[in-house]
Structures are given as C-alpha cells and as structure tokens.
Amino acid sequence: MTGVQFEISITEHCNLNCAYCTHFAPCVTEPEFLPVGSFRKDMKRFSEITGGRIDYLKIMGGEPLLHPEVTEFLIAGREYFPQDAVDLYTNGILLKDMPDTFWDVCRRKDIRLVIARYPGADHGQIERLCAANGVALRWASEPVKVMIRYKFDLTGQQDGAYQHRICNQCGTNLQFRDGKLYPCCRPANIKHFNRYFGTKLKVADADGLDIHAPGVTLDAVKEFIYKQIPFCRYCRNDAAESVPWKPSERNIEEWT
C-alpha cells in the first residue's frame, strides 16, 4: 500500500441527472468518452511511479457503463495494478443490459462493482446479477441517496488556505485528467461547468501535477496531493451541506 487512491473518468456524460454533481455531468450535453490509449498511457506511467502499488483505482464517470469499451479499461487497470483494488463505480442502471463478456472480465480480473443507490435502479436485481456472475459488489450508500452540495465563490475571493484546511476531499479524492493528477475532482472537471454556464473559473498549471514530467516520484505525488492549490480560492467548503438527492434543473445556483 502506498497511501495513494485515485479515480479517473472514462465518460463525462451520465444517464442520470443529479443535482450538485461534483463532476458536473448535468452540464455535459453531448457524449464524451476517454480514449483507451490515453488511459493506458497515464496508467503505465503512474504504475512506474508507484511501483505498481496503490490503495485502489476507481474507474468512474459520468456513467462508465455508457463507454462502449468499458471492459478494455478494466483489463488495463488490472494490468498496471495487478495486486491492488480496481473498482468500477456505477449507478448500476445499465448492468442488466451488459453482455456476458463484461461479467467475464469483471470476474477474471477481480473487478469490484461499487454502486450508489440512486433512484432508477433495481437494487435487488443488481445483487442477483453480481451473485450469479461471481462478481464482488459493494453498496456505496444507503437506499435514499444523499448528496453533498459543494458551493463555489465565482469571484475566487475565498481564503484558499482556510478552504484547503477544512476540505474533506484533499488527498482522498484524487482525479486524473489529461496526464495530470489533481488533489480533488473539482478543478479536474470544472471545464464542464465553465462551458455550460459561461463562467471563467481558472485552472492554473499549479492545480495539477503532470505525471509525465521528468523526475516525478512517489514522494513528489504524496507531497503534492495534500498541498493547497490555487483553485482552492473558488471553494466554499465552509458552506457544504448534506441534501437529499434530486434531479438537476441545470441552474447555476445548484453549485453556488
């Protein structure tokens, strides 16, 4: 174990429409898929940095089961991290439609399905499918899904040091995007929010760590993921609140 756990989105869009989504999937109006080659390039490099040992890899979205090559990501994830947990995070709605090849890969590659109990899925059917196919299942939430509503200060005038100090995602919600590792999912995904609402929350070079840069080591990764980053000035972690799940109306007020 290295103390490093991270996630990577293989789709940006979703078949649900959750208000307060921290990946801003409701703001993605057209399908967007991560190329398998890009995933392999980043996982190969990160495996070199970590010696192939991590706490776990989360493959997610959006909704990852929408990706037509989802099994290729599962195979590659296990290839580069053969000894540690590789989890597929999904809402489970599409599991009933997945082909036998999907279940076979999950079983052979020891992929665990982690499912939040959002509305719209038959949770009993999901349990039966996983049991019948010999695939591990973990429920990530109670049947009534509760969301955490994180808010932004669009002016970027927050005390970044304070917001970083009280952040519950720092170091535990690492996100890969385009060869860079981010300490949390918000700067990694903010491009969808900016594009949809016409805002200009800036992601600086210092907000992410380029894992392909020369000389990046595991110690450098561990140091970076707990650092305050420039993007912290947009966050209002002091105003975060637990709220019941509801469909998004795609209003900016859901995130501000």
Give per-residue pLDDT as tens, 102-124. Answer: 999 999 999 999 998 888 889 99
Residue 54 CB partners (closer than 8 Å, separation 6+): 1, 2, 4, 5, 6, 81, 84
Going 28 to 191 to 253 to 143, the CA torsion angle's sign is positive
- Mention the CATH class of domain 5-254: alpha beta
3-state secondary structure of 127: helix
Closest CA to 40 of 63, 1, 8, 68: 8
Q: Which amino acid is at 145?
A: K
Residue 144 CB partners (closer than 8 Å, separation 6+): 117, 244, 245
Contact 115, 138 (CB under 8 A): yes
- Reply yes or no on whether the pLDDT at 100 is more than 70: yes
Closest CA to 185 of 27, 177, 165, 227: 177
More confident call, 170 vs 222: 222
Question: What is the C-alpha separation between 52 and 43, in angstroms, rounded?
Answer: 9
Q: Residue 15 — very low, low, confident or very high, per pLDDT cuts 50/70/90?
A: very high
Q: What is the 3-state secondary structure (H, E, C) of 57-104?
A: EEEECCCHHHCCCHHHHHHHHHHHCCCCEEEEEECCCCHHHCCHHHHH
Where along the chain do its domains lie?
5-254
- Reply yes or no on whether the pLDDT at 87 is more than 70: yes
CA-CA distances (angstroms) from residue 243 to 90, 145, 148?
A: 20, 9, 6
Instruction: Give me the residues paired with residue 85 across strands.
Output: 56
- Reply yes or no on whether the pLDDT at 101 is more than 80: yes
Answer yes or no: pTM beyond 0.85: yes
State residue 1's pLDDT score: 58
